[in-house]
């Protein structure tokens, strides 16, 4: 099935909202989506950076707000 999305007519905020809707839908069947093996390596590296105090985590809502602030 081909889907036409007028990306050139959408604002960045519209695109982000569309992505959020898609992710929300994908989460309902997350167990059906295979995770690439390199994801484990990336997650382990990030965990080490966090444990070493080189990285910090943001609440997801705060991260989305930060993204929206940069695109507005």
Model confidence pLDDT, tens digit, residues 17-70: 999 999 999 999 989 999 999 999 999 999 999 999 999 889 999 999 999 998
Q: State the Cα–Cα distance between residues 13 and 71, nearest whole angstrom.
A: 7
CB 14 within 8 A of CB 21: no
Could you tell me the two tokens for 68? 């929206």
For the entire predicted model, the pTM comes to 0.46
């Amino acid at each position: 099935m081909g889907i036409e999305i007028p990306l050139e007519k959408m604002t960045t905020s519209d695109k982000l909202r569309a992505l959020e809707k898609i992710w929300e839908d994908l989460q309902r069947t997350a167990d059906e989506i295979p995770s690439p093996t390199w994801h484990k390596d990336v997650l382990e590296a990030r965990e080490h950076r966090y444990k070493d105090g080189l990285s910090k985590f943001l609440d997801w809502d705060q991260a989305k707000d930060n993204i929206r602030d940069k695109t507005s």
